[in-house]
Amino acid sequence: MALLKLAPTCKDYLWGGHRLVENYHKDYDGDVLAETWELSCYPDSPSTIVNGEYAGKTLAEYLEICGEKVLGTNCSRFKEFPVLIKFIDAKGDLSIQVHPSDDYAYQNEGQPGKTEMWYVVEAEEGASLYYGFEHEISKEEFRQRIEDNTLTEVLHSAPVKKGDVFFIASGTLHAIGKGILIAEIQQNSNVTYRIFDYGRKDKNGQLRELHVDKALDVTELAPVRKRPSDAPHIASCPYFTVDKLYLDGNNFDTLSGTIGTDSFAHILFLDGEGEISCGEERLTFVKGDSFFLPAGSGAWTLHGCCEALMTTERND
């Protein structure tokens, strides 16, 4: 089977909105939908196959049945499924946070670190996010500013618009601001060190936990260093490669490619509608849909009007 449509696990974090239900066709009954984990083998938050012979099985169960060959030879270097892909709808500001490197995370958390990228799908006028520091600071100043609630004074606030891309290497302090909806491609990890959370309380009325000491261990206390261009990709690193797919539905309404034995592909539709085919299988797609194409699936075609992100694994 060469074309698996996925349903996500849904998260109701307190800062979330409802756009993923209203505009992205997510099947969810709650009042707040902050994140959908679209491609996930994370133990308690899997994506689930909804079509074909594997319908009802989680992606992890499918991989157990079919074996590593469906991931591709480029994935042989990973200890576990390499990526986690989400939609994130920030009605409110997310906490200021940082993620550790692989070495630190395996030693202290028993799972990988977290490097990620964001593609801005929607942004309200005036929206911004925190991305590193305006200038280098010391650990002593970092701790003091956390304690006296002045940390934001030394953070870099980046204005955002639809189509912007941010690469967040492990160790980069960051926070998504309110009014932003993003697609996030990241390592398969859920390790987050929360640094500042605006004094918010959880569902039980308790202040949400901060992780200041671990954040002090891993945070790069300086402006984000400019990376070399990843062109023609919008992002590429040892953990994932991401390409943008676009069809205008008029002069350019068909796009084709091939899934070789080196890597699976995941396609996340950010907008539009049409048909996706691979091998003998054909399915319709709409804005918000998520598809997994196993390694070795062969030729694929998109027809219609769309904006989408394709994630694969490169040979490192």
If pLDDT is split at 50, 70 and 90, which confidence band does 202 have?
Answer: confident
In sequence order, the β-bridge partners of residue 183 are 87, 119
Do 213 and 306 sit in the same domain of this protein?
no
Average pLDDT, the chain: 96
Do 302 and 204 sit in the same domain of this protein?
no
Nearest to 127 by CA among 168, 84, 85, 157: 157
- Encoded amino acid at 11, one letter: K
Number of domains in the chain: 2
- Burial of 101 by CB count in 10 Å (0-12 exposed, 13-18 middle, 19+ buried)? middle
For 156, phi then psi, to 5°, come to -85, 120
In sequence order, the β-bridge partners of residue 33 are 17
Do 184 and 297 sit in the same domain of this protein?
no
Interatomic CA distance for residues 208 and 13, integer angstroms: 11
Q: Mind listing the pLDDT tens digit for each residue in 54-95?
A: 999 999 999 999 999 999 999 999 989 999 999 999 999 999
Residue 4 has pLDDT above 90, yes or no: yes
Q: Is-catalytic flag, 194?
A: yes
Do 198 and 243 sit in the same domain of this protein?
no
Give me the catalytic one of 143, 194, 200, 208: 194
Q: Mind listing the pLDDT tens digit for each residue in 220-254?
A: 999 999 999 999 999 999 999 999 999 999 999 99
Q: Mind listing the pLDDT tens digit for each residue in 247-281?
A: 999 999 999 999 999 999 999 999 999 999 998 89
Contact indicator for 275, 302 with CB cutoff of 8 Å: yes
- Burial of 54 by CB count in 10 Å (0-12 exposed, 13-18 middle, 19+ buried)? middle
Nearest to 189 by CA among 123, 285, 115, 292: 115
Q: Mind listing the pLDDT tens digit for each residue in 115-168?
A: 999 999 999 999 999 999 999 999 999 999 999 999 999 999 999 999 999 999
Residue 1 has pLDDT above 80, yes or no: no
Average pLDDT over residues 287-298: 97
- Is residue 224 included in any domain, yes or no? no
Percent of the chain with pLDDT over 70: 100
Do 242 and 186 sit in the same domain of this protein?
no
Interatomic CA distance for residues 173 and 170, integer angstroms: 9
